[in-house]
């Protein structure tokens, strides 16, 4: 397998969806908790990227195996186009998952046992997203699960590995008893700070499913768009972006985010313009990328504003 084929198999261009929650989680831990652990951050970054690549490879493999549309299977899916065998790709996927799991165990040893539970849940969602008899991506749960596991899950772990566990939440085991302890206030603060990520990442999946609506039906893939209808799905696309701006503003008012974060409204006209274009035309080749552009613009601005807040704190 050549490097270009591998990069297309794992869709390396889509990894921004996981890099932003990681980066913002690290910046939030610096701003809100004044904590940073360089080794843990590096380990988590490697594990996260490798596992993200593995889940994308699973997605492409399962789409190939379950495809009913032969044109898609042979001419659009990377396995068909590059002549890759399912067995070859499966070995690669198992290797990547094993590698990221081993790094995860190292992080559990360096932090708290609770990370094992959180990591196991994230692994399960990532694998079952497209694998198994009832894959999440083929149900109306894809947007919710991708938004929560990537937007909140990655953000939370990025904070958790940098901050002493007792500041957030920790699992203490003294056999045969265990105690879950922590701060509801700090957990709630992390959740609120992550909400814009939850919304914008969910919107990438939603935009993808809106654009693929007709093709998905031919492949017996019934997503949220199928159940709520395309017109309502397009409206939901807009509402999720407005929810991101509202969540960021609320976080400032509650003292979770710095006052600098109100600068996010500077990019509202750009995001609104992209929303309007997508609302008028939903096309995979020309307008789907607007969801990715909005994510980059929104969270790129957040990174700048968090950095300014940390510098001038």
Whole-number pLDDT of residue 100: 95
**In the chain, what are the domains?**
3-311 (1.10.600)
Cβ-proximal residues to 80 (8 Å cutoff; 6+ apart), any chain: 64, 73, 74
Nearest to 302, CA basis, from 267, 274, 264? 264
Cβ proximity of 251 and 259 under 8 Å:
no
Whole-number pLDDT of residue 24: 96
Residues 29-58 have pLDDT tens digits of 999 999 999 999 999 999 999 998 998 888
The Cα–Cα gap between 219 and 99 comes to: 32
CB atoms within 10 A of CB 90: 13
- Token pair 């690290």: residue: 26
Residues 266-300 have pLDDT tens digits of 999 999 999 999 999 888 878 888 999 999 999 99
Give mean pLDDT, residues 79-101: 87
Highest mean pLDDT (candidates 15-29, 81-95, 203-217, 248-262): 248-262
Residues 164-219 have pLDDT tens digits of 888 898 888 888 888 888 899 999 999 999 999 999 999 998 998 888 877 777 76
């Amino acid at each position: 397998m050549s490097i270009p084929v591998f990069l297309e198999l794992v869709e390396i261009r889509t990894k921004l969806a996981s890099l932003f929650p990681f980066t913002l989680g690290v910046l939030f831990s610096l701003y809100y908790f004044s904590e940073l652990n360089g080794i843990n951050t590096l380990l988590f970054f490697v594990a996260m990227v490798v596992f993200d690549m593995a889940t994308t490879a699973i997605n492409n493999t399962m789409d190939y195996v379950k495809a009913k549309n032969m044109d898609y299977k042979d001419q659009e899916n990377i396995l068909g186009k590059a002549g890759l065998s399912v067995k070859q790709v499966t070995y690669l996927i198992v290797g990547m998952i094993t590698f990221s799991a081993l790094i995860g165990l190292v992080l559990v040893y360096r932090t708290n046992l609770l990370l094992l539970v959180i990591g196991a849940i994230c692994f399960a969602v990532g694998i079952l997203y497209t694998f198994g008899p009832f894959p999440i991506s083929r149900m109306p749960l894809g947007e919710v699960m991708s938004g929560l596991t990537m937007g909140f899950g990655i953000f939370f772990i990025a904070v958790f590995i940098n901050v002493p566990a007792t500041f957030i939440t920790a699992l203490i085991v003294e056999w045969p008893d265990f105690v879950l302890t922590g701060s509801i206030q700090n957990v709630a603060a992390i959740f609120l700070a992550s909400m814009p990520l939850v919304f914008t990442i969910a919107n990438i999946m939603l935009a993808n499913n809106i654009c693929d609506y007709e093709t998905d039906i031919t492949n017996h893939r019934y997503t949220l768009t199928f159940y709520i209808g395309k017109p309502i799905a397009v409206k939901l696309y807009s509402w999720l972006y407005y929810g991101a701006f509202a969540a960021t503003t609320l976080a400032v008012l509650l003292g979770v985010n710095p006052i600098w974060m109100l600068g996010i409204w500077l990019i509202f006209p750009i995001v609104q313009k992209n929303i309007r274009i997508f609302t008028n035309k939903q096309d995979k080749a020309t307008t789907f990328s607007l969801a990715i552009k909005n994510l980059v613009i929104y969270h790129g601005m957040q990174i700048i504003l968090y950095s300014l807040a940390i510098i001038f704190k």
